[in-house]
Amino acid sequence: THFGFRDVPVADKQKLVGEVFSSVAGKYDLMNDAMSLGIHRVWKRYFVATAQVRRGDRVLDLAGGTGDIAALLKERVGEAGELVLGDINGEMLRVGRDRMTDRGNVRGFEYVQCNAESLPFPDASFDLVTIAFGLRNVTDKDAGLREMLRVLKPGGQARVLEFSEVTADWFKPIYDFHSFKVLPALGKLFAGDSGSYQYLAESIRKHPPQAELKAMMEAAGFVRCDYKNLSAGIVAIHTGYKA
């Protein structure tokens, strides 16, 4: 199958994203390590370590998948804190919940199957909302950002960890080779499916670069928006606050 999603009608994209993640859910963590040489763990740690969050806070991790971010966030909110994992894909959530239980994380976690574009939570119900490697899969990103703002309490922070635009010229050819040659080959090796990883490479390329995403967050209504590049812009952390 060919997953070049430029050719796919928007209505079918949702289903496609569901299938891509269902087909890799069990091997998802291994894949991440192989594709990033383990560096995704460092990015995630930094993302959580620098979040505006306190003990006892209630946090929503969107596109939470297998729960890497939620597990790290739980260390920061402590016993009294609450973590809600939201993901559109039931299979990813199930793997996430199993993994969390294996890590001994049971109390203070909630799993909600939901689309980031229309969240089933009341206004102003979270102190922090995070989305890591998820926004690029959301079809209507503006709607997703507006929903993140809506469910945040005033003064609360939204954080986006996502692939972005590489800023160093010397690194670009290496990065291209990795995206278009190494990724599909790894996809074939691990998932027996190079199509899913072609989708991945394309979704990474189509994601709005740093300044554009910052402007989108401002347009959605966030204040004090800013971003920080990690690893020469392979990924960036965007932050915004609810006034």
d(CA 14, CA 179): 23
Q: Does 47 bind ligand SAM (CB under 6 A)?
A: no
**Complex with ligand SAM: residue 101 or 118, whichever CB lies closer:** 118
Residue 137 marked ligand-binding? no
Neighbours of 27 (CB within 10 A): 13
155 three-class SS: strand
Q: Which of 68, 127, 165, 193 binds ligand SAM (CB under 6 A)?
A: 68
Q: For ligand SAM, which residue has the nearest CB?
A: 65
Least CB distance from residue 123 to ligand SAM, whole Å?
A: 19
- Kindly list the distances between the CA atom of residue 88 and the CA atoms of 31, 113, 139, 233, in Å, as whole numbers in the listed order: 20, 5, 12, 27
Instruction: Please tell me the distance from the alpha carbon of residue 41 to that of residue 133, in angstroms, as a whole number.
Output: 12
Question: How is residue 52 written in tokens?
Answer: 């505006």
198 belongs to the binding site for ligand SAM (CB under 6 A): no
Distance in angstroms (rounded) separating the CA atoms of residues 162 and 15: 22
Strands (E), the chain: 58-62, 82-87, 109-113, 126-132, 152-163, 223-230, 235-241
Confirm or reject binding of residue 21 to ligand SAM (CB under 6 A).
yes
162 binding ligand SAM? (CB under 6 A): no
Q: Say whether residue 128 binds ligand SAM (CB under 6 A).
A: no
Size of the site for ligand SAM (CB under 6 A): 21
Query: How far apart are the C-alpha atoms of 159 and 217, rounded to whole Å?
Result: 10
66 is in an annotated binding site: yes
Under the binding rule (CB under 6 A), the answer on residue 95 touching ligand SAM is no
Question: If binding is defined by CB under 6 A, does position 138 make contact with ligand SAM?
Answer: yes
Residue 105 identity: N
Strand partners for 238: 160, 227
List the one residue from 31, 51, 60, 64 that touches ligand SAM (CB under 6 A). 64
Confirm or deny that 1 is annotated as ligand binding. Answer: no
Q: According to CB under 6 A, which one of 48, 84, 88, 204 is a site residue for ligand SAM?
A: 88
Question: Footprint of ligand SAM on this chain (CB under 6 A)?
Answer: 17, 21, 62-66, 68-69, 87-89, 92, 115-117, 132-134, 137-138
